[in-house]
Structure formats: structure tokens, C-alpha cells
Chains A and B, each alone.
Chain A
Amino acid sequence: MKDIRNLSIFSSSGGWKAFLRTAACVLLVLFLGSVVFILVVDPYASIPFSPDWERSTVGDQRLFYPNLARAARFDSAIIGTSSGRLLRPEDLNKRFASRFVNLCLNSASVYEQKAILNIFLAHHPHPKTVIFGIDHVYVKEKYNKPHIEPAFEWPVWLYDQNPSNNFPPYRLQTLTHAWSQLLSMTGLKTYKYGRDGYTDFTRPMDEYDLNRARMKIYGTQEPKPVKAVFPPVRMSSAEIDAFKFPNLAILARMLRKLPDDTVKILVLMPAHHFIQPTPGSADAIRWQEFLRRLTELTRNLPRGYILNFNIPSPITTQDVNYWDGLHYTVVVAARLASLIAEGVQGNIDNANYVRLVADK
């Protein structure tokens, strides 16, 4: 090996100058080429001066759904987590005379739900209907901030509504998404995400395996009964008052942003009854307090409705309705859409939900 301290090894031959020139030129071409590619394709439709082409969702919802939230073809939205993703806008549009977009994000914290709603409201200041899918994330003391896990990386730049930083990060993922977007735009490849945000992320129903579902719900293939805690846990009113629900404050802010004439529907999503708070437990007390405070939120809220599907019901007690404790099947999703309409418009009681109304 040459001794690198021996400086005489370094020559200024034309060969090395050409080597440097080539490397610099290739670098420049690759850099500029990739930047122009991102600018023109604009995978997330975030760059104001990019060509006005229709762009699809071709990957991570958190990156692509802001584009849907801005789209003028919608006037109503569904906000929530994966528990709301199966609500099909088509099933709701006729019932509410609205044009829904499903903006539910997988494992979305409430902060993230608020962020996507803010974008929707910035482009649709007078929405007709907004459905909030309320599930376990609202009840916890966490989930009031963006996720930090790499799997759910939160693209702050896309949600801060600051037009000066709308250029996507210069990285491999952006280039890959730009490439996928190009394939989608040219029709060379189709992606599973619908134009209204709806995606059936579950397996086809002919692959449904009840034993597998039960394993996920109960941890065994044999169904287990819900055993009430006995004697039931008792808490003082001071202890109950001390419960903190930081996500309800975020929900309150979201509701306050909505105009009076917007129909606001808070749907407590139907988790399987086995994972609902066990009667007599501390969780059940916390849940009841959550419901009470949630109901208080809608006091004097114009056109506000709460439908609690998170109860033991014909839907939630049937294992066959679920893939796991949280995620129901598409069959249930279709039924849910009609039940929501029924509960809001018909003032009809049903074994599958309870309408919650603040005491006068």
C-alpha cells in the first residue's frame, strides 16, 4: 500500500482532472435531475407551481391525504383512525346528501386527526357534515401529540400550512413516491387507495378465518365470556374528577372550528365487546366518565350528535363481525353507515347504539 504521507504520489495528471470533472458533472446531473423530477411530478401535490395534474394516493396516508383534504370535489369528511377507515363515502353520500372524503389515518393520534381536519377546513370552510370516529385513542392520556415512531413518521412540513416549506424532503422515499405517482398518472400502475380516501385494508372476506380472528380477540381460539369485576371497583368523585382526557380538549377545539350549520357526528366506534371496558373495573369507571365529559362537549353544540356503538350489541358480540378486537369487517362497515344515518336523521333507537344527549 502506498504511504499516504508520501505526498509525491499525488499527481495533477489530466486523468485525475477528468475524473473529478466527470464525478462533479454526474453529481450535478443526478442532483438537478432528481430535484426537477420531484418538482414536476410533485408526488404529494404540495408544490404550488407544479403542473396541475390529478395525483393519487400511492403510499403512506400521512403524506398523501393532505392532497385529498384540499380537493374541491368533497364537502364532508370522516376523521379518525383505522377504526373509521372502512366507512365508505359512497355509503354515506346519499344518506347525508354530501360528498364525503374519508381522511381516517392508520393509528392516528388525536393531534394528527386535528391536523388533517385543519387542512380540510382551510379548503372547505363550510363543510356539510363531519364524522368523528371516536375510539380508544381519545380515552388515553397520550395520543395528543404526533407519533414519533418511524413507522408513523409525521410530516410536519406538510401539515403546518406554511407555504414556504412545501418542498418535500430530498430523500429516497420522496423519489420513490414520485416514481409511483408517475406510474399512477400514466396509468402504468394502479394503487389500492380510492379517490375518496376509502381503502378496504382488510383481506377479502373469502379468506376470513374465524379461528384466527378469535386468536386476535381472545388470545385463544375459544371464545371467552366477559367476566365482570366483583366486587366492583369503587372510586370517589374526587378520584373520578381527577381523570385527565387531554384528547377531549383537542376534540373540543375541532368542534369549535366547525360552523353552526355543519352536521357534527361523533361516532363511538364499535370495538368487540370483549375488549370494551370490563364491567365493574376501573377502566369502566374511566370510560363512563369519558362518555359523560364527551356528552358535555355537545351541550349547546348546534347540529351535534353522539352515537355510542361501543356497547355490547348484536354487532359487537358476534366474533364473525371482526378481524380483531378493533377492526370490524366490510359487511359491518356498510351496516354502520346506514345505522349512523338512522341514528342522526331518524331519531330511532337501535340495539346497536345509544344516542347520547347532554342533560338539560
Chain B
Amino acid sequence: MGAKKGWRMCWLLLASLVFYSYWDVRLLPLLLISVVVNWFLARFYGAAGHPAIPLIGVMMNLLIIGIFKYANFMTENLLLVWGGRFDPWNIVLPLGISFFTFQQISYLLDLRRGQAPVYSFGQYALYVMFFPQLIAGPIVRHNELIYQFDQSPQRDGCAERLSRGFILFLIGLAKKVILADKMAEIATPLFSLAAEGKHLTFAEVWVGAGGYTLQLYFDFSGYSDMAIGLGLLFGFTIPINFNAPYVAVSVRDYWRRWHITLSRFLRDYLYIPLGGSRFGLPRQVFAVMVTMGLGGLWHGASWNCILWGVWQGFGLIANHLWQKTGIHFPRAIAWLMTLLFIISGYMVFRSETLPQAWTMLATMIGRHGWSLAVNDVGNRWRVILFALPALIGPTSHELALNKLKPRPIYATLAAGLFIYLIWMIGDEGYSEFIYFQF
């Protein structure tokens, strides 16, 4: 079946539908309708050629995401300004809406720019719904994936792709089950205590901050590794999404390493159309702030997320201005400053309310004392220990796609680790991936 393109695509589409339904079947019709309507608009544009058609599609996508993801937030804030009581509507957030909507927007805009053809329905549907990347990315572009549908997974190199794909998937799974979930066990209770207004010590807030910083990275990059690994198992290459972000030596460097496919999307479809760096500094500041503010909003309908995005915007502008001075910090200082900037942003991102974020940030800089007491001393060491794979050593991609050699001992260890992880998941289950909520 793998050798016949039609069957292969049908099978993958079916698998994708089953996969999405497994997570949340309630909004499968929305996904299907979205794909069908977008494809019809693309086709209509291909026939009629009117430039407004893709824009109508973009507006429609924004409307859908606006209703499902932002309606409560926007209404609540409008009523806050105008006065009035608001009981939130019971709106179910469709899984992966931020991802499949953005992929479709990017396609429509490329179509309008003359950079994309009109694909067959099967190609387009599989591009949007290809299950490894459907729910939490990476955000793949049409010209990165669709051409690969023509290639048989059994083509030359199948054994190596399967091996490397398996190892990358395995690394992602281990990141999630061993690293991310363990860090969550440390960070979540501390953030919950802070949300309840309980006092955390200086050390506890830092442990919570470190734990969450690592949890977020291992969780999301683990998912991306699994998606890319799964893609390879089916013979597809999906762009990488993370490249050791916590070794970044500037905010700009960080955004080139963190959620790379989102950064790329924001750059090409928001920052550059807003003027980018082509019209002087004020316009660039505007473009960066709007781009990052909306990027923050993309992560969640809350002021915390927006503020986190704006904070990143400030960082990028400051980074840009500093670069113009030509002064360079020593690499270690630059790294530390960048990491502290990132962690401080996460405190806003993770906190449930802004006052909680302020309190935690104030505690981090010693405004509430310098107590080194923590509830569980071991957690301090666990955070430090778990930081090592994020800071040193090869990335999962380097390991699986470059350094891995076809030695039986590695295959044996990998198989052993895989079954152990299955047993662990059986025991403890796993928490939902953080980016599933975006």
C-alpha cells in the first residue's frame, strides 16, 4: 500500500482523522469544514484570480479562531471598559486550532502572492491534517510537505529514516515522560501555592521558575521531536522547531532557536508585511511590538500572554539597539542575561494573574527576603540536574539525525528505553502537552 500514492494518502488521512478524534471528537466537524472551505476558496481563487478571495479566507480563519479562542476574553474586556457583568460562554477550544488555522492562513497568503499552486483536495487536506503535526505543530508550510506526498516511504534510505525517526520519537517521548512531567511535579504545586496567595520563599520561587522553564522546553520540544520522528517513520521530513534555545546568547538568538516555525510564520506573515526593518527604527519598533504582542496573544487569550509577548518585543528591540552600539558582552554574561530575561518572561506567562506574576518576580529579586528554605531540598538539585540536558550536550536532532550510528548496542538500549517508557506511562499516565491548549 505504501508504494501507491492514492492509497497512502487515504490511509494517512484516515489515521489523522482517527488521531484527532481520539483527542477530541467533538470538534472534528469544525476541522473538516475549515479544511473544505479553505480548499474551495483556494480553488475558486485559482479559477477566478480575484485577490480578495484569499483575504476572505484569511478573515474567515481569523474569525473562527477569534470566536473559539478569544470571544470570552474580548467580551470580558470590552464589558470591563463599558461596564457590565459577564458570565463567560461555555466555548470548547478546538484542539490544535491555533496550528491548523495558521497553516491555512500561510497557504492562502502564499497563494495570493503567487508562491503556491492550487493543490488537489487530498493533498491539501493531508497537508493541514497530517497527524504528527496537527495538534501542536511544527507549523509546516505547504511547500515543505506537500511535494513529499509523491515520494514513496519505501524509497531508498527507508531503513535509516525508520531508525532515526524511531530514535527521535523516543527522545521526544523521554523528554516528555521523564523530564517534563517530573519538572511539572515540582513547578505546578509551587505556582498553585502562589496563585492561592501563599508566601513562597526566594529559593522556592526560583525552584518553581527553573522547574517551569525546563518543563515548558522539554514538553514542547519533546512533542516536536515526536512529531518530526513520526514524520520520518512515514517518510516525511518536517522542519525542526527547537535548537537548544536555552543556550541562546541574545533574545534574537533565542527566537531563532525557540518554536522556530512560529517565529518564521510571525516574521514572514506579520513582521515583514508590517514594514519590518525597511522603514526606519520607529516603524520597526511598531512592527516588532505588534508582532510579538500578537504572538503572545496566539499563545492564549489572556493579558499575561499578551504581556509576555510585549516583554519579548522589548527584549528584541533592546537587543537590536544594543547591537548598534557595537559593544559585546562576554559570551557567558550574554547567555546569563538572556536566560534571566526568558525566565522572567515565563513567570508572567505561567502565572494565573498579573498580581501573582509581580509577587513572584519581586520574590525572585529578594523583595520578600532571601530565604533559601524549600519544602523539598531535593527539588533544588533535581532542577539543576534536569537543566543539564537543556544546556549541554547535543540537541535531540543532532543526536538522532547526525551522531547516531547504526550500532546494535544503541538499538538495544533504545528498545529497552522505549518499553520502559511504555511501562512508566502505564503507571503514571502523562499530563497533557502544554501546547495542546494553544
> Using a CB–CB distance below 8 Å, which chain A residues touch chain B?
1-2, 4-5, 7-13, 15-20, 22-24, 26-27, 30-31, 34, 150, 169-175
- Choice from B164, B397, B412, B426 contacting A26 with Cβ under 8 Å: B412
- Whether A23 pairs with B415 at a CB distance below 8 angstroms is yes
Q: Is the interface of B mostly helix, strand, loop or mixed?
A: helix
Q: Which of A5, A9, A19, A31 has the most CB of B within 10 A?
A: A19
Q: Which residue of the partner chain, among A7, A19, A173, A175, contacts B163 with CB atoms under 8 Å?
A: A19
Sorted nearest first, the 5 A-B pairs with minimum C-beta distance are A171-B426, A10-B157, A15-B406, A26-B415, A22-B411
CB <8 Å contact, A20 and B427? no
Contact B408 A1 (CB under 8 A): no
Residue numbers in A under 8 Å from B423 (CB-CB): 34, 170-172, 175
Residues in A neighbouring B402, C-beta threshold 8 A: 1-2
Partner of B412, one of A23, A150, A174: A23
Q: Do residues B159 and A12 form an inter-chain contact, with CB atoms below 8 A?
A: yes
In the complex, A22→B163 CA distance in Å? 11
Provided the pairs A11-B157, A16-B163 are in contact, do residues A30 and B415 lie with their beta carbons within 8 angstroms? yes
Task: Report B-chain residues with C-beta under 8 Å of the C-beta of A11.
Answer: 156-157, 160
Whether, in the assembled complex, B40 has its beta carbon less than 8 Å from a beta carbon of chain A, the answer is no
Q: CA separation between A30 and B422, bound complex, in Å?
A: 11
A229 to B426, CA, bound (A): 51
* B415 and A27 contact, CB distance less than 8 A: yes
B425: nearest residue on chain A (CB-CB)? Answer: A171
- Within the complex, the shortest CB–CB distance from A90 to chain B, in Å, comes to 36
Q: Decide if A12 touches B158 in the complex (CB within 8 Å).
A: yes
Q: Is B268 an interface residue (CB 8 A)?
A: no
In Å, the complex CA distance between A197 and B161 comes to 54
Q: Which of A27, A170, A173 has the largest number of chain B CB atoms within 10 A?
A: A27
Contacting pair B162 A26 (CB below 8 A):
no
B62 within 8 A of A: no
B406/A19 in contact, CB under 8 A:
yes
Q: Find out whether the CB atom of A2 lies under 8 angstroms from the CB atom of B401.
A: yes
List chain B positions with a Cβ less than 8 A from chain A: 144, 151, 156-164, 166, 228, 232, 237, 239-240, 395, 397-398, 401-402, 405-408, 410-412, 414-416, 418-420, 422-428
B401 touches A20 (CB 8 A): no
A173 touches B427 (CB 8 A): yes
B240-A4 in contact (CB<8A): yes
Q: Complex formed: what's the CA distance from A19 to B239 in Å? A: 25
Contact B166–A23 (Cβ < 8 Å): yes
**When chains A and B are docked, how far (Å) is the Cα of A126 from the Cα of B408?**
60
The answer for the CA separation of A5 and B145 in the assembled complex, in Å, is: 10
Cα–Cα, bound, A79→B66 (Å)? 56
CA distance A169 to B429 in the complex (A): 12
Q: With A1-B398, A23-B166 in contact, is A17–B415 under 8 Å at CB?
A: no
Contacts of B418 in A (CB 8 A): 27
A238 to chain B, nearest CB (A): 34
Given contacts A1-B402, A10-B156, A172-B424, contact A20 B237 (CB under 8 A): no
A20/B426 contact (C-beta < 8 A), A1-B398, A4-B228, A31-B419 known? no
**Closest Cβ neighbor of B239 among chain A residues:** A5
| Residues A18 and B406 in contact, CB atoms below 8 Å apart | yes
Q: Across the two chains, which residue of chain B brings its CB closest to A30?
A: B419
Given contacts A4-B237, A4-B240, A169-B426, contact A20 B157 (CB under 8 A): no
A7-B157 in contact given A1-B401, A27-B419 (Cβ < 8 Å): yes
Task: Establish whether residues A26 and B416, one from each chain, have CB atoms under 8 Å apart when the complex forms.
Answer: yes
Interchain residue pairs with CB less than 8 A apart (5): A1-B395, A9-B401, A11-B160, A19-B408, A26-B416
Partner of B419, one of A4, A18, A34: A34
Alpha-carbon distance A133/B428, docked complex (angstroms)? 32
Q: Which residues of B contact A171 (CB under 8 A)?
A: 423-427
Residues of A contacting B240 with CB < 8 Å? 4
